[in-house]
């Protein structure tokens, strides 16, 4: 079962800004999308990981969508679950991460039941894959992280994703745990793919 983000007192206002910060693939990047710091490498090519939106809150849960972009000039193959950690002022925060293949309800994220976790070939010069992180916003003992750090199996380096400016005050997760979906092809974090308008808050 998915768990979702907690948010600050200004969450309602912040979430209303999410859609305006999202742009179609190939459009102009926003500050929230381009502020990642990445040394993540696939061979000689660089990959970046950027925050692209949220499901909003429902019954205490939040989902955050992330894109993995190939900034290099040759194809790159990635697969499996990203490794996630949360940090504040450089210190790693305690958080139990659970790998979850896919959502079991109608709003499918991750890999649908009966499908294998895919091997994704990222095309050069901007090819995109994606994944979701889910957490809880109603349980006690919340963390307030300034960064999410992402690494990928078989690749060197890591991507550091700051809190999206003007949207959240922190990455806030409660209850001591979060769940991560596998990397899939395309922009929706879902396999089979879905339109972004069905995945993120409108």
What CA–CA distance (Å, rounded) separates 108 from 26?
A: 25
The gap from C-alpha 112 to its chain's centroid, in whole angstroms, comes to: 18
* CA distance readout (Å), 185 to 8, 9, 76: 32, 35, 12
Tokens representing 66 are 């992330």
pLDDT digits (tens, 9 = 90+) for 25-65: 333 223 344 468 999 999 888 999 999 999 876 667 889 99
pLDDT digits (tens, 9 = 90+) for 152-161: 988 999 999 9
pLDDT digits (tens, 9 = 90+) for 63-106: 999 999 999 999 999 999 999 999 998 899 999 999 999 876 54
pLDDT digits (tens, 9 = 90+) for 97-147: 999 998 765 457 999 988 999 999 999 999 999 999 999 887 788 999 999
User: Would you say how long the chain is, in residues?
Assistant: 202
What CA–CA distance (Å, rounded) separates 51 from 48?
A: 10
Domain positions in the chain are: 5-192
């Amino acid at each position: 079962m998915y768990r979702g983000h907690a948010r600050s007192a200004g969450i309602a206002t912040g979430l209303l800004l999410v859609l305006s910060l999202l742009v179609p693939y190939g459009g102009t990047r926003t500050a929230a999308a381009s502020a990642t710091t990445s040394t993540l490498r696939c061979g000689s090519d660089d990959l970046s990981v950027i925050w692209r939106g949220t499901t909003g809150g429902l019954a205490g849960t939040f989902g955050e969508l992330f894109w993995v972009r190939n900034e290099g000039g040759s194809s790159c193959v990635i697969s499996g679950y990203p490794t996630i950690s949360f940090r504040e002022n450089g210190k790693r925060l305690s958080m139990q991460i659970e790998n979850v293949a896919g959502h079991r309800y109608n709003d499918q994220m991750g890999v649908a039941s009966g499908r294998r976790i895919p091997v994704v070939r990222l095309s050069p010069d901007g090819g995109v894959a994606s994944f979701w992180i889910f957490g809880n916003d109603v349980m006690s003992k919340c963390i307030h992280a300034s960064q999410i750090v992402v690494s990928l199996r078989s690749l060197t380096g890591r991507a550091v994703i700051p809190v999206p400016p003007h949207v959240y005050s922190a990455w806030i997760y409660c209850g001591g745990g979060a769940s991560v979906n596998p990397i899939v092809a395309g922009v929706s974090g879902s396999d089979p793919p879905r339109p972004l308008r069905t995945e993120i808050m409108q």
